[in-house]
Amino acid sequence: MKLKHLTWDYKQPLEDEMWQARRLAEFFPFVLEDLTAQDKALLLRRLDEINLPAERKEFIRMVCHEQQDPV
């Protein structure tokens, strides 16, 4: 079973983008392997609205940006 499915707590994830982004951020980096480009974009778009330590937000930004824009 993929870890990302465990983060949803439901058979299908809720349609609420903020809820999805918060759950992904809470379980980051454990769900990193299963994240799609759409998931990463959602995280980056909603990250400032999520209550996380600044260091963790910066780590999420670094990892998601690197994987979206490989050099």
What one-character-per-residue DSSP string does 34-54 give?
G--HHHHHHHHHHGGGS---H
* pLDDT at residue 1, as a whole number: 41
pLDDT in tens, 31-61: 888 889 999 999 999 999 999 999 999 999 9
Determine if the peptide bond prior to 70 is cis (ω within 30°): no
Whole-model pTM: value is: 0.75
Rounded Cα distance, 23 and 18, in Å: 9
